[in-house]
Amino acid sequence: MHAIVPPYLLAALAAAPADRFPAASAAARATLALPRTYTPTRAHLDLSVDGGALVVSASPDPDRLVSDAQQREELPGVPARAEGAEPTGDAAVDEAYDGLGATFAFFWQAFERVGLDAAGGPLLATVHFGRDYDNAFWDGTRMVFGDGDGEVFTGFTRSVSVIAHELAHGVIEHAGGLVYQGQSGALNESVADVFGALTEQHLRGETAGEATWLVGAEIFTDAVTGSALRSLAAPGTAYDDDILGRDPQPGHMRDYVETSGDNGGVHINSGIPNKAFHLVATTLGGNAWERAGRIWYLTLTGGSLSSTATFTDFAAATTATAIAEYGEESEEAAAVRKAWDAVGVTGDVAVG
């Protein structure tokens, strides 16, 4: 399932001593036990012919609807704020509404993509899901946010990178999908992290050099020793807590984790392509979505990427995209090649 908090982190919290995080430990156990249904969708386009030309009808304006589950585990919940409506005063509702808008604006302004399905489909979200629910996830049609337990996790709508990460799973699905298992699943998570970080940078007007490159920096309470869920700049350093453990993400193929858990380590090994993207973006400089992000986006949506792509496949595909867009001898192509070499996916130091 496409959830922002990995199962291994929730499992660590569920096993926490009762005197440390009693509410959070119970919330983590309940979150792990609650099943989620995933419903994949595809784009629906309105096509017409004008003077012999095929016309795709799509609006560049978002169509948002945020609903309130009222702490029930039922979707979609009660409509709380529709497109164009004034703020409600409910922080989760209004933060989700703004986060949906920031994500829509990023994909439109950076890549001229109209919504998750590229056809102006609605952006749906549900807040206040469950009681003390410790996660946020994409269910195939909508974003769903828990309120957190208050001891370890705060409300998940506070983080634009979390909102955009989960919505990016919808973009990935509509682009053809990356099977959520093993390396293709880690690429799925990595691409979502990339677009989550880029959406936040776009909203803040940050360059690659100015950005924190953190995902989920706002969702931990002060009781946690850590800065975020993940770091694209330095995988494995986002948190190091006596209860939650240490961020297990590797940044190089020599540290690749073989595991049957977490769908083959999709939230763990995603650190390797995350680091590769960070290297490309910081090497090129400027706004990361303009060149590095464009290469990743065109690779994802170009139609040639297999749904079971490995890291090596994705490295070759991004390199080919960079060459097609900027030229064989361009600094963009060189940056992509160098980045995949640096994380051990390609080159003489490649492992796995």
Q: Are residues 47 and 56 in contact, defined by beta-carbon separation less than 8 angstroms?
A: yes
174 given a catalytic annotation = no
From the DSSP assignment, how many helices (H) and strands (E) are in the chain?
10, 12
Marked catalytic residue, from 166, 189, 200, 332: 166
Residue 191: CB atoms within 10 Å: 26
Residue 125 has phi, psi (to 5 degrees) of -150, 150
Work out the end-to-end distance of the chain between its first and last CA atoms, rounded to an integer number of angstroms.
26
Q: Which of 239, 37, 23, 31 shows the shortest CA–CA distance to 146?
A: 31
267 given a catalytic annotation = yes
> Is beta strand 143-145 parallel, antiparallel or unpaired with respect to 123-127?
parallel
Q: Are residues 267 and 250 in contact, defined by beta-carbon separation less than 8 angstroms?
A: no
9 vs 16, 52, 260, 276, 281, CA distance in Å? Answer: 11, 55, 15, 24, 28
Q: Which of 4, 13, 5, 7 shows the shortest CA–CA distance to 242?
A: 13
Q: Which of 107, 101, 96, 106 shows the shortest CA–CA distance to 138?
A: 96
DSSP labels, 207-223: -TTT---EESTTSB-TT
Marked catalytic residue, from 128, 267, 278, 332: 267
231, β-bridge pairs? 214
Residue 94 has phi, psi (to 5 degrees) of -70, -35
Catalytic residues: 166, 267
